[in-house]
Each structure stands twice: as structure tokens, then as C-alpha cells.
Amino acid sequence: MFKASEGTTPPSVTMATDEFKYHICCMGAGYVGGPTMAVIAQRCPHIRVCVVDISQTQIDAWNTDDLPIYEPGLLEVVKESRGRNLFFSTDIDSEIKRADMVFISVNTPTKTTGIGAGKAANIKNCELCARKIAEVADTPKVVVEKSTVPVRTAEAVRRVLATNDRGVKFQVLSNPEFLAEGTAMPDLQEPSRVLIGGMQTDAGLAAIQELVDVYSNWVPKDRILATNTWSSELSKLVANAFLAQRVSSINSISALCEATDADCSEVSRALGYDPRIGNKFLNASVGFGGSCFQKDVLNLVYICESTGLPEVAEYWNQVIVMNDHQKARFTQLMVKRMFNTITGKKIAVLGFAFKKDTGDTRETPAVFVCKALLEEQARVQVYDPQVKRSQMFIEFDYTCGVNKDNTPKLEESIVTCEDAYSAADGAHALAILTEWDEFKTLDYQRIYNNMAKPAFVFDGRGVVDIEVLRKIGFEVYCIGKSRPKYSLDSK
Ligand SMILES: NC(=O)C1=CN([C@@H]2O[C@H](COP(=O)(O)OP(=O)(O)OC[C@H]3O[C@@H](n4cnc5c(N)ncnc54)[C@H](O)[C@@H]3O)[C@@H](O)[C@H]2O)C=CC1
Ligand SMILES: O=C(O)[C@H]1O[C@H](OP(=O)(O)OP(=O)(O)OC[C@H]2O[C@@H](n3ccc(=O)[nH]c3=O)[C@H](O)[C@@H]2O)[C@H](O)[C@@H](O)[C@@H]1O
């Protein structure tokens, strides 16, 4: 395979498909497949990259400027290469046939039924991709697991690929993705590391080198780590488990800070100066969300249980227990502080996405908090700059099983608003559930003037300046910070 650095002329806009000497196909045009391939296409103009998906709607959106996902900087990168060497298509068979390398970047959600339900990852989509490749391939291919999968999934992928009846040779690599949503573009353009696992045979090592040659078009060599397949697959699960564990650890301490008048951000600051601990990922919050932390930790728990390691499984399960506790603790605090009843009260929810700079709502803490507020018969007025109303209802149903069939008043109890000010209008409390930058600079005096009194703020993201808001007149509660003392305090 050749590289741009070897003096190849970058292709012109009009380069025909068969003029490209190397073809990549990526199965799955989601949060990972789309951005990852956009960056490969941008950094390797000599490679033709095609992202395929079974969803026509998803592919159609990738072919417009209204991309199916919101990610800062993504549209610019897509526009640079789309139609040149980056394509989005539902013609899966043709693109697999043409490809030298096929990435599998499909969703691997937690199983909801059957063996391992609620814990094990469902790799059905990965297997279906492998079956499709086996069915249509008539030339050798390197198949790359980009999806996060249970350790030893490559073994299954290999066996499925071996069912190809034309004697085609495949190599299977593990190349897990470490991007975080909201920062996907810088994470892909300057990755902390690229991990590639493969068989330690001549053919396996050659396949690893083929993928190294793609990444080394822009990633420094010392950040490309080659290893064996199983270590690579497992490292991805462990990386997410360590990150999630860190959030649960600091969240557990946030509860202790609130009980002792210590300040959790000061504790984080003190910890962060120790280079062995590091200062990242120490922000206490209403709980972690996102499509992967819970899924991957539970998958690790399941793998430990299935390999006869119940103590190890229980250790990691506590990360989830603490996260569930943190989400529940937040709403319990709201109800308690608002005189033990929020029935009929209006609560402004600021932020619905699982973190800032994304429109992704999968496993967002906001859905759990809103569900609890609805159970208390509050009226919820939500504002999020990137989440559409329809998406919120999809999330209620998918994550919590709450829909208009079992909750007839759902649609009228959740009001979606154009901005934070209209959400707060007439509200008894603000609940800040996503750390969008714009929530830091809101005109809180204006908000206070239009709220019912006493006006409460429950900050689940450490966004507001507590002292400024208290001076305005708000009663402010912030995760990990000392609480104002009122007669309701038990201490
Ligand atoms: N979302 C994230 O930030 C990260 C996700 N991951 C992992 O990457 C994988 C993909 O995650 P996302 O991109 O978030 O998922 P996603 O749900 O956004 O996208 C997956 C796409 O695959 C498509 N698909 C499913 N089966 C298919 C098939 N047989 N053929 C073609 N397309 C098919 C779906 O239609 C969907 O568009 C998961 O294993 C996840 O754990 C890893 C790192 C970061
Ligand atoms: O496999 C994945 O899907 C990805 O999962 C995470 O990325 P992501 O979930 O997109 O976002 P994070 O920045 O990790 O945040 C996850 C959750 O933890 C929360 N969080 C994060 C950091 C922190 O200090 N406190 C905290 O509450 C965030 O608000 C968010 O809800 C990892 O950071 C990525 O490396 C990984 O590739």
C-alpha cells in the first residue's frame, strides 16, 4: 500500500473510483464510523473511503449538510472530502467487494433479553457484518473491528469469515476507538494513541502493518501501538472501565463533601496535582451517561462472571451502583429541599444531552432525573441547544421504558423550550443537567425575576457561580459543594 508521504499526487476531484489504488469500506455510519472515516479520508486523499449503513435515512443525512450527528468541526471535515474520496452509501455489497480493508463500526448494545440480559454486549451486528463480508467478498481483505467488543470476539469473526466459499483469505484486526463525543475531531486528528491488535503470525503482522500505514499518514509512529488481538480488545473495555470508575470515585466523594462542608472541586484540585493521579476526569456530576461507559463496564462485569471471577465482577459492578446512586441522590435532594413535594411544580431542566457539545442522549442522566420528576408529578420544561423533542421521547422509551402508552400524560408533562429563559419562566427550580457553556453566562437575574419564589437551583454539573446566584436570591445546591442550612437539615 502507498502513502501520501511517498510522493503520490493527491487525487483530483474528478478521480474515478477505479483509479484509487486502495479502498476502505466502513460498515456503520454512526458516531464512530462517520467521524473516523471522515478523518481518514481527509488525511489520506489517496485512499477511497466509503461508509455504508443499512439505514437509508442515516446515509441520506450524511450526504447533506444536516449531518445525522452533531460534533463540532465534523461538517467542515466531511465537506472537504465528500465526493472526492469520501462517500456514503447503502450499496453495501459493492463497497465490500471493492474494499481492501473493511472496518466494522456497528453498535454493540447491552443485551436486553436472553442469556446475559442487562449485562452482556450484543455482538449480533458485528456477526452480521462478518457474515455479509463472507457472503460477498471475492478478494482478500483485512477486516478491522472498530466496534467495542467482548474479548475474543475476533475469534468468532474469523470463524464466520472462514465460511466464504470462494477460498478468500481474511485477516482480522482489533482497532478500538477512543474518541469522546464532543471532542471527536481533535481526538481523531491527534489521538492519544492508536491501538492495533492482530495475530502474531506473518500474515497477521502484515495486516497490522497495512493498518499502521493508513494511520501513519498523520499519527506519529510512537503513538501507534501494535499488540496481540485479545489484549487490544480487552484494553478498550478496561480503558472505559477505568474512566467510568474515576467518575464514580469522585462522585462518591461529592456526597461526602456535601455532608462535611468540604468542597469537591478543591479536593479534585488537590488530587490533580499528583502526577500519579492526574487532573483529568475528576469533575463530580449528576452521574455519567453516554452509550458506552455503562455498557462497557457491565460487559466487563459479565465477562468476569462468566470466567469464574465473581469478586472481580463485583468490584467493577460498584462503578455502576455508585452511578445509579448519584442520579437518584440528585432527584431525592431536589424533592427534599422543595419541601418534600414537587407535585404540580414547574421544573426547568437545562440540558438533556449526556455531556456538552453533543446531541447524543443515550443513557443521559437527564432522562433518569426527568423520569423521577414526572413520577413526582412535576411539570418539566426542558431546554437543550442540540436535542430535539422527538429525540427526548425516543430516549424515554428506549432507556426507561416510559412512553405515551404507559404514561398517557407524558407529552403534556414535558414541555420543550426554545431557550433557557423560556424554560425557566414561572419555574420553581432549575436543574442543570448538562454543562453547556451557555449556561455559565445566562442572565440569572432575569431568570430569577421570572421564577416562582423561593427560586431553587440544583446544579448537577458545577456550572454556576454559587455566590453570585445566592446574592441574587436563589437557593443553590451544587453537587459536591456545601449546602445552605435550613430547618429541613437533619444535622
Ligand atoms: N459513540 C462513541 O463515542 C463511541 C463508540 N464506540 C463503539 O463503537 C461502536 C459503534 O458505536 P456508535 O458509532 O456510537 O453507534 P451508532 O449507533 O451511532 O452507529 C452504528 C451504526 O451501525 C449501523 N449498522 C448496524 N448494523 C449494521 C450492519 N449489519 N451493516 C451496516 N450498518 C449497520 C446502524 O444503522 C448505525 O447507523 C460501538 O461498539 C461503540 O461501543 C467506541 C468509541 C466511542
Ligand atoms: O467508548 C466510548 O464510547 C468513549 O467513551 C468515553 O467518551 P464519551 O462517553 O463520549 O464522553 P466522556 O467525556 O468520557 O464522558 C462520559 C460521561 O462521563 C461524564 N463525566 C466525565 C468526566 C468527568 O470528570 N465527570 C463526568 O461526570 C460526562 O459528563 C459524560 O456523561 C471515553 O472518554 C472515550 O475514550 C471512549 O472512546
The SS3 assignment for 397 reads: helix
pLDDT (mean) for 192-217: 98
Average pLDDT over residues 457-482: 97
Same CATH topology for 22-219 and 238-319? no
DSSP string, 4-55: GGGTPPPPPTT--GGG-SEEEEEE--STTHHHHHHHHHHH-TTEEEEEE-S-
Q: What are the sequence ranges of the domains in the chain?
A: 22-219, 238-319, 323-478
Q: Whose CA is nearest to atom 26 of ligand 1?
A: 125
Assigned CATH class of 323-478: alpha beta
User: Which has the higher per-residue pLDDT, 483 or 66?
Assistant: 66
Q: Which atom of ligand 2 is nearest to the CA of 148?
A: 1
Strand residues in 75-162 grouped as ranges (E): 86-89, 101-104, 141-145
What is the per-residue burial (b if ≥16 Cβ within 10 Å, else e) of 212-228? bbbbbbbbeeeebebbe
The overall average pLDDT reported for the chain is: 95
What residues have CB less than 8 Å from 384, skipping those under 6 apart? Answer: 350, 351, 352, 353, 359, 366, 434, 436
Tell me, in angstroms, the distance from the centre of ligand 2 to residue 373's CA.
25
Lowest-confidence pick of 299-313, 418-432, 472-486 = 472-486
Active site residue 292: yes
Residue 53 annotated as part of some ligand binding site = yes
Asked if 389 contacts 416 with a C-beta cutoff of 8 angstroms, the reply is yes
Decide yes or no: CATH 1.10.1040.10 for domain 238-319: yes
What's the pLDDT at 485?
73
19-50 pLDDT per residue, tens: 999 999 999 999 999 999 999 999 999 999 99
What was the pLDDT predicted at 408?
A: 87
Question: 138, 93 in Cβ contact below 8 A?
Answer: no
Query: Could you identify the atom of ligand 1 that is nearest to the CA of residue 148?
Result: 39
pLDDT at 14: 62
Q: Select from 57, 462, 453, 27 the least CA-distant residue to 247.
A: 462
C-alpha cell at 414: 414535558
Q: How far is the CA of 331 from the centre of ligand 2 (A)?
A: 22
Q: What is the pLDDT of residues 144-182, one digit of tens each?
A: 999 999 999 999 999 999 999 999 999 999 999 999 999
pLDDT for position 47: 98
Taking the whole predicted model, whether its pTM rises above 0.90 is answered as yes
C-alpha to C-alpha distance for 430 and 346, rounded to whole angstroms: 9
More confident of the two residues 185 and 16: 185
Q: Residue 368 C-alpha to ligand 1 middle, in angstroms?
A: 23
What was the pLDDT predicted at 7? 38
The pLDDT assigned to 2 comes to 42
The pLDDT assigned to 488 comes to 52
Q: Kindly tell me if the per-residue pLDDT of 184 is higher than 50.
A: yes
Residue of 288, 361, 362 to test ligand 2 pocket, by largest number of atoms within 8 Å of CB? 288
Catalytic one of 50, 292, 370, 478: 292
Does 5 have pLDDT greater than 70? no
Q: Identify the nearest ligand to the CA of 433 by its number.
A: 2
The model's pLDDT over 329-363, given as tens digits with 9 standing for 90+, comes to: 999 999 999 999 999 999 999 999 999 999 999 99
Please name the fold of domain 22-219.
Rossmann fold (3.40.50)
Residue 484 pLDDT grade (very low, low, confident, very high; cuts 50, 70, 90): confident
Q: Is the C-beta atom of 174 inside 6 A of ligand 1?
A: no
Residue 338 corresponds to which amino acid? Answer: M
Provide the 10 A C-beta neighbour count for residue 119.
Answer: 21
Q: Is the ipTM of this complex over 0.85?
A: yes
What are the pLDDT digits (tens) for 278-320? 999 999 999 999 999 999 999 999 999 999 999 999 999 999 9
Nearest C-alpha neighbor of 31 from the set 64, 74, 65, 95 = 74
Q: pLDDT at residue 442 above 80?
A: yes
